[in-house]
Amino acid sequence: MFPILTFAKGEIIVRAHSLIQHGSPVVLGDIVDMQGVDEGTKAQLMKLPLSAAPAVGETLEFSMTAISGMLRSALDFADLPHVKIPHQVVIERSSHKWEAANVEKELMQLWQPSCLECKLELSDLTLPAGEFSNWTLKAKAEMPKGGFSIPVEVRKDGQMVTLWIQGQLTIRKLVPVAKRVLYFGERIQAADVEWIWRDVTMAQDGVPSSTDVLGRRIKTALRSGDIVFAGNLEREKALRRGEVARVISGHGEWEVSTNAIAQQDAEVGDTVTLKNPRTNRDLTGVVVAKDEVEIR
Write down the domain spans for the chain: 1-95, 172-232, 244-295
CA–CA separation, 121 and 186 (whole Å)? 35
CA–CA separation, 15 and 60 (whole Å)? 13
CA–CA separation, 264 and 245 (whole Å)? 11
Q: What is the pLDDT of residues 117-129, one digit of tens each?
A: 899 999 999 999 9
State the chain's mean pLDDT as an integer. 87
Terminal-residue alpha carbon distance, the chain: 31
So what's the pLDDT on residue 253? 58
Alpha helices in the chain (DSSP H): 39-46, 64-74, 100-111, 210-213
Q: Is pLDDT at 75 greater than 80 in this prediction?
A: no
So what's the pLDDT on residue 177? 97
Q: What is the pLDDT of residues 27-44, one digit of tens each?
A: 999 998 888 888 888 888
So what's the pLDDT on residue 117? 87
Q: Is pLDDT at 282 greater than 60 in this prediction?
A: yes
**Partner residues linked to 283 by β-bridges:** 274
CA–CA separation, 283 and 273 (whole Å)? 6
Spatial CA neighbour of 259 closest among 268, 274, 248, 246: 246
CA–CA separation, 94 and 26 (whole Å)? 13
Strands 88-93 and 59-63 come out as antiparallel
Spatial CA neighbour of 196 closest among 121, 119, 116: 119
CA–CA separation, 252 and 235 (whole Å)? 30
So what's the pLDDT on residue 252? 54
CATH architecture of 244-295: Roll (2.30)
Per CATH, the number for 1-95 is 2.60.480.10
So what's the pLDDT on residue 254? 66
Min mean pLDDT across 17-26, 58-67, 70-79 is at 70-79
Q: Contact, 11 vs 35, CB < 8 A? A: yes
User: 290 — phi, psi (to 5°)?
Assistant: -60, 125
Share of the chain above pLDDT 90, in %: 43
Q: What is the pLDDT of residues 168-224, one digit of tens each?
A: 999 999 999 999 999 999 999 999 999 999 999 999 999 998 888 988 899 999 999
**Partner residues linked to 135 by β-bridges:** 154
Mean pLDDT of 63-78: 80
Q: Kindly indicate whether the domain formed by 172-232 is annotated with CATH number 1.10.3720.10.
A: no
**Partner residues linked to 227 by β-bridges:** 177
CA–CA separation, 133 and 137 (whole Å)? 13
Higher pLDDT among residues 23 and 174, named by residue: 174
Mean pLDDT of 75-90: 77
CA–CA separation, 32 and 10 (whole Å)? 13
Q: Is pLDDT at 231 greater than 60 in this prediction?
A: yes
Q: In what order do the strands lie in the sheet with 11-14?
A: 32-35, 11-14, 82-84
Q: What is the pLDDT of residues 120-160, one digit of tens each?
A: 999 999 999 988 878 899 988 889 999 999 999 998 888 88
The answer to whether the Cα torsion of 224, 228, 229, 235 is positive or negative is positive
